[in-house]
Amino acid sequence: MMQVEYGNQTIAFDLIYREGKTLDIEVHPDKSVLVKAPLNTDLQEIYKRIVKRGRWVLKQQDFFDQFLPRTPEREYVPGESHYYLGRKYVLHLRKGKERSVKLISGQIRVVSPSLAPEAIMALLSSWYYNHAQVKFDEVYNETLQIFKRFDVGNPNLEIRRMKNRWGSCTPSQKIILNPEIIKAPKRCIQYVMIHEFCHLVIPNHNKEFYQLLGEMMPEWERWKSRLEGVMV
């Protein structure tokens, strides 16, 4: 990875040389910067071009900060609220030999040999992750069908906890989703998935990207707002 100074900030970027005449700068959803330059392009010329577009690069990176998950810290004590697919459940704890998590009558009932917060957190995290795998695969397959006409192939789907992202689409065309969004309504999950699929077609957040996003999910702004507020 290379870097260039822009004002009092540093822009790190990956560089790929290719045939052609244009030098392209891409900012991806994980905030990584990829520069595609014609063969034999002088490195100083690449630095100058990045600096020239530095304001745009930083603006694009700042855009992704709005996907900062807002789920507050939990204490994992009885009576605490937890969410699953947009519905709020009250945490109910019971000590027992077997470990289990069940949704019953507005409660998320957890049975565990230990009722220590760290034990409950580990058990719930595993439960959420397993349910996220099933639901994300379902939404992935639904989304893949509506993007067939764009010939996006079969991008890999990965579930990974991210500190400041709901989702990401890497330069290698891997879609990554934060398991935390299993707590939001299914339409919110669909919004994140569709958003990342749109990046398989248009890498940057430009006018064409939002036109495509609006075409694939006309009410995306509603579900984006819902996602940002549902788990506060």
In the chain, domain spans: 2-67, 81-229
Confidence of residue 30 (pLDDT cuts 50, 70, 90): low
Long-range pairs for 93-98: beta carbons < 8 A, 24 or more residues apart: 93/120
Average pLDDT, the chain: 88
* pLDDT bracket for residue 168 (50, 70, 90): confident
For 211-226, what is the mean pLDDT?
93
Confidence of residue 215 (pLDDT cuts 50, 70, 90): very high
Token duo for residue 197: 């699929």
The architecture of the domain spanning 81-229 is 2-Layer Sandwich (3.30)
pLDDT at 63 over 60: yes
Mean pLDDT is highest, among 30-39, 64-73, 119-128, 167-176, for 119-128
% of residues, the chain, pLDDT over 70: 93
Confidence grade of residue 232 (pLDDT, cut at 50, 70, 90): very low
pTM: 0.69
pLDDT band at residue 206 using 50, 70 and 90 as cut-offs: confident
Task: For residue 188, give the nearest of 174, 208, 159, 167 by alpha carbon.
Answer: 167
Question: Does residue 96 sit in helix, strand or coil?
Answer: coil
